[in-house]
Amino acid sequence: MWRQSDEELSRGELGVQEDSRTPPPKTEDGAPSIGVTEMGFRFVVNFLRYDSGMTKAKTRMTRVLDRLEKFYGKPKAPRPVDAYEMVLHRNCGYPQSDALCDKGFAALKKEIGLRPEEILAAPVAKLREVMRVGGIVPGLRAQRLREIAARVETEFGGSLRAVLKRPLAEAKKALRKFPTLGEAGAEKILLFTKTAPVAAVPSNCIHVPLRLGFGRESKNWAASYKSAQEAILAELPEACEAQLRAYLLFKQHGRTLCKSARPKCEECPVTDECGYFAATRGRVRGPA
């Protein structure tokens, strides 16, 4: 069973912005090049590949995602998408699920408020009581919310927006200091806030791309995650919209049909792309 606490991989930064004072490089015939930054160049390439549809041949992953989107519909925009609120949200429910976190987060917003000073001013007993709607161990979650609020207030001046402007590796390191946030959680925040086109994979649904042949499963959760991530990076443009769509569709499929235990393959729209299905179809379909 994969566990998020096993997350220990890290990715490098996206690229280095050239110093604007450096003379532009020359082209082969000696003329100065247009002098775009590496990030700018990548943006243009990705825009042409993804947004304007100039790529003739879609990658296999894009075709699979298109079929999932046709089946489930366009993924809804995720909420919340502010980094601080996302950290609060994931700590508002336990066992951690969207439904419980949504309930706990809504109660926190209504009864206490989301601002660090509001959380810190609330009596501990009230915070604990409010957290009951988010599931078990409300006391522990109340304590974590106070810890988050205190750190954001004292270390980051009340907001995590400045953290997101740091170099990618540094931003990720700062985010991982918050309770329950591992590599996958930090990368999810970087992607949802559109800070960077990170190939985040839903931590409890990495079996979805792996079953579909995108990456290799390993006994080690971190190695499986990294492998799925590398496959995504190889198949999709480094663009937030493309990466976010993949994240949301893999998650939807993992929660609806492609559950980690007993997937409902008989209803799945992409069986012909699935290695797991090919290997287990006898068992999945039952005797003829």
Residue partners of 26: CB distance under 8 A and separation at least 6: 32, 33
Contacting residue, 26, 271, 282, 285, with ligand SF4 by CB under 6 A = 271
User: Tell me, what DSSP letter sits at residue 273?
Assistant: G
Number of residues that bind ligand SF4 (CB under 6 A): 12
Six-digit token string for 56: 């003739």
Q: 């579909």: which residue's tokens?
A: 212
Q: Is the dihedral of CA 198, 204, 209, 214 positive or negative?
A: positive
**Nearest CB to ligand SF4, comparing residues 185 and 263:** 263
Instruction: Reply yes or no: is the peptide bond before residue 287 cis, omega within 30 of 0.
Output: no
**Nearest CB to ligand SF4, comparing residues 172 and 207:** 207
Q: 């287990």: which residue's tokens?
A: 280
C-alpha to C-alpha distance for 220 and 224, rounded to whole angstroms: 6
**Nearest CB to ligand SF4, comparing residues 108 and 268:** 268
**Nearest CB to ligand SF4, comparing residues 34 and 279:** 279
Closest by alpha carbon to 81, among 163, 202, 195?
Answer: 195
Contacting residue, 164, 191, 196, 268, with ligand SF4 by CB under 6 A = 268
Contacting residue, 274, 282, 285, 287, with ligand SF4 by CB under 6 A = 274
Q: 């502010």: which residue's tokens?
A: 82
The residues in 160-219 that bind ligand SF4, with binding defined as CB under 6 A, are 211-212
**Nearest CB to ligand SF4, comparing residues 104 and 254:** 254
Q: Is-contact 16 171, C-beta < 8 A? A: no
Q: Cβ of residue 184: shortest distance to ligand SF4, in angstroms?
A: 20
- In the stretch 230-259, what mask flags binding to ligand SF4 with x, by CB under 6 A? ---------------------------xx-
Binding stretches for ligand SF4 (CB under 6 A):
211-212, 257-258, 263, 265, 268, 270-271, 274, 276-277
